[in-house]
Amino acid sequence: MFKSIYPYSGEVVAEYEEDAAPLQKVEKAHQVFSTWKNKSLAERQQLIVRFAEVLEYRKLEYAKIISLEMGKLYNEALAEVEKCAITTRYYAEHAPEYIQPLVMQSSFPRAYTSFEPMGTILAIMPWNFPFWQALRCAVPNLLLGNTVVLKHASNVMGSALKMQEAFLEAGFPDGAFQALFLSSDKVEQIIADPRIKGVTLTGSGPAGSSVASLAGKYLKKSVLELGGSDPFVVLKDANIQLAAETAVKSRFQNAGQTCIAAKRWIVEEDIYDEFKELTLNHVSKLKLGDPFDTQTTLAPVSREDLAISIEKETKKLIADGAKALLPTERQGCLLSPTILEITRSHSAYYKEELFGPVGFLLKAKNTTEAIEIANETPFGLGASLWAQNMEQAAGLMRQIQAGSVYLNSMVKSEGALPFGGIGESGYGRELGKYGIQEFANVKTYAIQI
């Protein structure tokens, strides 16, 4: 039995029973694939646009379930659903360009590659963006001609069900997208099934390692997005006011439960004190409370066990010498915004992703050290660099080891831009052209006339 619990009050929102026969859903997806793959791209595009319309029409309903299940601010939940609709429309428009056959020059008179569907894809998704994480995988795969089964996080099963209903309302065949009500210890039997042709996971490092091992064991293509410890590097010539404001927004949106949040603020010493004062001022204005209260600007974290873990981690760091500029206070799932001033040795030693409303502030002696600190992490998802010297910044962006680097902007995901990491942040890409090609059979046609 899975429970959805409203983090703010502890109220049980809904309960869902585990699937007694999950492989029946896999078989259903497999059967639908046999006809779905043969539909024209134009037919699939038409249904995808209808799906975007359903998202837009029902966004208030979907935002409510997101906020109730994982505690996101209601206005942030609305923005999440709207982003899903925008990205769905983006893919509907650009799919023909992204998966059109490519003519190849070879020894054959005629040769080309075609991007063709593989079959049913298993998506294992987290709770922090219940709609966005799932749909940025599902939409391009459905457009390509694959079918999708979703094993969602146990606390957001209601969101999974709403998405399944939305695809049906849009006119998709029953079975094209299905929610699996499945515990994590049952995942291997799904990956092992020969009808599953690929698996994608967004989640923790241990979960990614486990899924990658299983995908390798059963020879399945896999894509992993495993979070990060994203640096937010501020050089002395930066627009400090804008950088400080953006650093706080990036770190504390979604209660800090964002893979690409600015987790380490690395600031050159010439401007360090000014940046620290500005960020503390912005953080002090955050209001922790009820996600449905329009005055609230910081939501609770999604589960109490996560809140307890974050509290313990911050206390451990303080015991190890970090300075609490704003200490952690906890009441249930409510965590006060925390700022810890840490040293380079702390940053190099601390290898975990702290997934909550906690920011790390570090001083760098100069630009060289700032980039070195940015790269002292096993993760490599995103990075943000703040500077006004564009020529210098271009060179520094190449030095930062990450899947994406943003200049004078927080790291963000959008439909046009490939998203993914290196190192312990995983491999493969979502979104953009590569997001629709990851689970395609790149099939070569060589023709001797």
Which residues are known catalytic residues? 225, 259
| Spatial separation of the C-alpha atoms in residues 138 and 122, rounded to whole Å | 10
Tokens linked to 55: 């998202």
**Residues sharing a CB contact under 8 Å with residue 21, sequence separation 6 or more, in sequence order:** none
How many Å apart are CA 52 and CA 33, to the nearest integer? Answer: 22
3-state secondary structure of 300: coil
What angle is formed at CA 292 by the lines to CA 355 and CA 89, rounded to 5 degrees?
75
Nearest to 257 by CA among 294, 212, 295, 203: 203
Nearest to 220 by CA among 101, 154, 123: 123
Length of the chain: 449
Distances (CA, A) of 47 to 39, 68, 159, 187: 11, 29, 20, 30
* 419: three-class secondary structure by DSSP: strand
Counting Cβ atoms within 10 Å, is residue 316 exposed (0-12), middle (13-18) or buried (19+)?
Answer: exposed
Q: How far is CA 130 from CA 65, 161, 258, in A?
A: 10, 11, 12
